[in-house]
Amino acid sequence: MDRLDNAAVFAETVLGIVPHAGQARYLLDRHPTKTLVGGRRSGKTISLAIEIAFHAAKAVHAHRPFRQLLVAPGIDQAKLLIAAVARLIRQSPLGGLIEAEFSSPFPELRLAGGVLIFVRAAHEGGKHLRGHAADRVVVDEAAYVPDTVIEEAIMPLLADVGGELVLASTPSTKGSLFHRMFERGRSGTDARVSSFIIRSADNPYIDRGYVEGQRAEITDRQFRVEYGGEFLDQTDAVFRWDHVVRCTGGEQVEAGAHRRCVIGWDPALKRDRSGVAIIDATGKPLRCVHVEDIRGRDFVEQVQRVAELARLHGGAKVVVDGTGQGAVLVELLRRQGCWVEGVTFTTATKAEIVTALAVAIENGGIILPPNRDLLDELRFYEARAKPSGRIEYGAPVGGRIHDDLTTALALALRGVQGPPQARTFADAGLLPFLTSSRGAKTLAVGPDGLPDRWSSWPWDG
Ligand SMILES: Nc1ncnc2c1ncn2[C@@H]1O[C@H](COP(=O)(O)OP(=O)(O)OP(=O)(O)O)[C@@H](O)[C@H]1O
Ligand SMILES: [Mg+2]
């Protein structure tokens, strides 16, 4: 068989890389539209890189100009993909085909005969994608790209030339565009689309112990999504994934003393994340400009870091969980010269700040950074109705899943919005869990239509 007939053979004989079985199945397929769902570390990016190199080599061989556009939610992820492609080609006998390699402003690889590989990020509503014709577009981490960007900015690029499209990612939630495309390929109803799935355990090139270790760390449901490639059912979700992804599109702005910022901090020492989130409230929509996990240092050092961030962000106000020992942190921050507000967490205050964040995300009132830890916290964040009728918020029980960056973000938003206004039940009803019969049955509702326990605030007065 000719090496240029088949990307799997090409990988092994030209690039010197042996695809694992799941990768080979994907590489052998030549449908014009393909989806690749994979668990974490399952070998998605390498599969894409092999196939991109394969198409480039074929085009050079055929003396045919060919443009491949590589897209990822943020520019850093897009750079990882083109770097993998460049590495594969450079290390192979095809290294000499590279005519030029640029890293700025966007990485680009030029091969002989007008064969081009270039990258763009999908953020800012896909504005960097518009106006670029391409014969083939490859989207890595497609679940983190808003549906509208795929539909309105990516698909039109291919329309004129009838080009090829690949969407690869860890799974998103059911009902998303990525899920629908995946199902279309699975069902065989569309002759143009094919779909593939690779599980983390299929990749023999990663430490098996790592994947098994994760099984003990996270819930079964999260494991099936993150490592088993299953799409997530979001019935208990507080933050709808399509809304979260839509909020990630914004332009990032530089931190600066002239901006009005608020810092939220959900402190922890070791086990949990010690979440810090900074919201720039200078204009609308609000922008979360920074998230950071500062665990692993003692509290004095953490206080110093938060105070430093406050200084860097124009004397930002700090809103910190002041429950219990948190009162000490409030005091320590004051001594560092910070403007601090401590929030005492009760079920009611937690509900309020989380609801406010959910509403802001639902309304597109906040721009989120493409920070995977934060986005994954939001994706799995739950509201659970307890037998007592209380609603408990947080990461799923039964695993070491974090929710501390989310709490920090909610605290920062609380600092921006000030003491909460009572919301109408209809506002709160934006949350899917309240519109499902599960939660609603257990809520005690007062005469004003508000849940009973929301009528007073512990920090009032
Ligand atoms: N065919 C292969 N031969 C050798 N190593 C491989 C192969 N496929 C994947 N790997 C290695 O496995 C690891 C994971 O691969 P890759 O980064 O492609 O996975 P991914 O699914 O994109 O991961 P992530 O979820 O982190 O994005 C990397 O160290 C990569 O080099
Ligand atoms: Mg990857």
User: Quick one: pLDDT at residue 1?
Assistant: 55
Confidence of residue 452 (pLDDT cuts 50, 70, 90): very low
Residue 398 has pLDDT above 80, yes or no: no
Residues 217 and 304 in one domain: no
- CATH code at position 117: 3.40.50.300
Q: How far apart are CA 276 and CA 188, in angstroms?
A: 46
Ion ligand 2: residue ranges with CB closer than 5 A: 44-45
Q: Is the CB of 38 under 6 A from ligand 1?
A: yes
Residue 424 has pLDDT above 50, yes or no: no
Q: What is the DSSP string of 393-436?
A: EESPTTS----HHHHHHHHHHHHHH-SPPPPPHHHHTTSHHHHS
User: Quick one: pLDDT at residue 257?
Assistant: 61
Ligand 2 mean position to 243 CA, how many Å?
23
Residue 168 or residue 210, greater confidence: 168
User: Quick one: pLDDT at residue 383?
Assistant: 85
Q: How far apart are CA 230 and CA 251, in angstroms?
A: 31
Confidence of residue 252 (pLDDT cuts 50, 70, 90): low
Range of the domain at 429: 241-454
Q: Give the chain's domain count.
A: 2
Residues 259 and 404 in one domain: yes
Residue 354 has pLDDT above 90, yes or no: yes
In a domain, 289, yes or no: yes
Residue 440 has pLDDT above 60, yes or no: no
Helices (runs of H) and strands (runs of E) counted in the chain = 18, 16
Residue 446 or residue 293, greater confidence: 293
Residues 138 and 263 in one domain: no
- Tell me which of 199, 226, 253 is where a domain ends: 226
Q: 17, 46, 227: which to mutate for ligand 1, most atoms within 8 A of CB?
A: 46
Residues 190 and 254 in one domain: no
In a domain, 272, yes or no: yes
Residues 10 and 133 in one domain: yes
Residue 41 or residue 4, greater confidence: 41
CA 191 and chain centroid, separation: 30
User: Quick one: pLDDT at residue 451?
Assistant: 36
- What average pLDDT does this structure show over 67-80? 93
Residue 447 or residue 4, greater confidence: 4
Confidence of residue 256 (pLDDT cuts 50, 70, 90): low
Q: 45, 50, 76, 200: which to mutate for ligand 1, most atoms within 8 A of CB?
A: 45
Specify the ligand 1 atom closest to the Cα of 20.
Answer: 1
Residues 62, 29 contacting (CB under 8 angstroms)? no
- What average pLDDT does this structure show over 239-250? 87
- CATH code at position 275: 3.30.420.240
pLDDT per residue as tens digits for the range 379-390? 989 888 777 777
Residues 289 and 436 in one domain: yes
- What average pLDDT does this structure show over 348-360? 91
In a domain, 358, yes or no: yes
Residue 46 has pLDDT above 70, yes or no: yes
In a domain, 281, yes or no: yes
User: Quick one: pLDDT at residue 217?
Assistant: 75
Largest CA distance in the chain: 80
Residue 28 has pLDDT above 50, yes or no: yes
Q: How far apart are CA 86 and CA 111, in angstroms?
A: 11
- Tell me which of 226, 252, 277 is where a domain ends: 226
In a domain, 233, yes or no: no
Q: Whose CA is nearest to atom 9 of ligand 1?
A: 43
Residues 412 and 283 in one domain: yes
Q: Is the CB of 20 under 6 A from ligand 1?
A: yes
Specify the ligand 1 atom closest to the Cα of 18.
Answer: 1
Residue 215 has pLDDT above 70, yes or no: yes
In a domain, 236, yes or no: no
User: Quick one: pLDDT at residue 253?
Assistant: 62
Ligand 1 mean position to 20 CA, how many Å?
10
User: Quick one: pLDDT at residue 6?
Assistant: 92
- What average pLDDT does this structure show over 325-354? 91
Residues 210 and 281 in one domain: no
Q: 14, 141, 170, 205: which to mutate for ligand 1, most atoms within 8 A of CB?
A: 205
Ligand 1 mean position to 205 CA, how many Å?
7
Q: Is the CB of 19 under 6 A from ligand 1?
A: yes
DSSP type of residue 175: T
Q: Which helix (H) or strand (E) holds 221?
A: helix 220-226
User: Quick one: pLDDT at residue 126?
Assistant: 84
- What average pLDDT does this structure show over 252-258? 63
Specify the ligand 1 atom closest to the Cα of 40.
Answer: 25
Q: Whose CA is nearest to atom 5 of ligand 1?
A: 205
In a domain, 459, yes or no: no
The answer to which of 326-330, 424-428, 452-456 has the lowest mean pLDDT is: 452-456
Residues 200 and 142 in one domain: yes
User: Quick one: pLDDT at residue 422?
Assistant: 43
Residue 195 has pLDDT above 80, yes or no: yes
- What average pLDDT does this structure show over 7-16? 96
Residues 334 and 263 in one domain: yes
- What average pLDDT does this structure show over 419-442? 42
Closest CA to 246 of 169, 174, 150, 147: 147
Residues 194 and 121 in one domain: yes
Residues 133 and 221 in one domain: yes
Residue 234 or residue 365, greater confidence: 365
Cβ within 8 Å of residue 307, ≥6 positions away: 318, 333, 336, 337, 338
- Tell me which of 226, 254, 269 is where a domain ends: 226
Ligand 1 mean position to 117 CA, how many Å?
20
Q: How far apart are CA 270 and CA 161, in angstroms?
A: 53
Rounded to the nearest integer, the mean pLDDT of the chain is 86
Q: Own/partner pairs for 61-65, CB < 8 Å, 24+ apart? A: 61/4, 63/113, 64/113, 64/115, 65/113, 65/114, 65/115, 65/116
Q: Which helix (H) or strand (E) holds 189?
A: none
Residue 98 has pLDDT above 90, yes or no: yes
Ligand 1 mean position to 41 CA, how many Å?
5
- What average pLDDT does this structure show over 251-266? 78
Q: Is the CB of 229 under 6 A from ligand 1?
A: no
- What average pLDDT does this structure show over 313-328? 92
Residue 444 has pLDDT above 60, yes or no: no
Confidence of residue 357 (pLDDT cuts 50, 70, 90): very high
User: Quick one: pLDDT at residue 426?
Assistant: 41
- Rg of the chain (C-alpha set): 24
